[in-house]
Amino acid sequence: MFSELAKNDLQRLREQGYSPTDDEIIALNDLAVQIENGKETTVANHPRFAFAGNVIFHEPTVGALEWWWSYGHDAAWTLKGQLHTHFFMLAHARDVSLLQMLDTPSTINKAVKVWLKGVAATEDEMLRAMLYVKHGTNWVVPTEKIEEVKPETALDNISTILTLAASSLGIPLESLKTNTETQLMQMIRMSNKAGLNMKPSIVKQYMAY
d(CA 81, CA 18) in angstroms, rounded, equals 25
Tell me the C-alpha to C-alpha distance, in Å, between residue 92 and each of 2, 63, 105, 182: 27, 11, 17, 18
Tens digits of residue pLDDT in 73-84: 888 888 899 999
d(CA 61, CA 134) in angstroms, rounded, equals 10
Q: What is the pLDDT of residue 101?
A: 94
Q: What is the pLDDT of residue 58?
A: 92
Q: What is the pLDDT of residue 16?
A: 58
Q: Taking the complete model, does pTM exceed 0.75, yes or no? A: no
More confident position, 182 or 112: 112
Q: What is the 3-state secondary structure (H, E, C) of 109-141?
A: HHHHHHHHHCCCCCHHHHHHHHHHHHHHHHCCC
Tens digits of residue pLDDT in 20-59: 677 667 766 666 665 555 544 444 456 788 888 899 999 9
More confident position, 142 or 10: 10
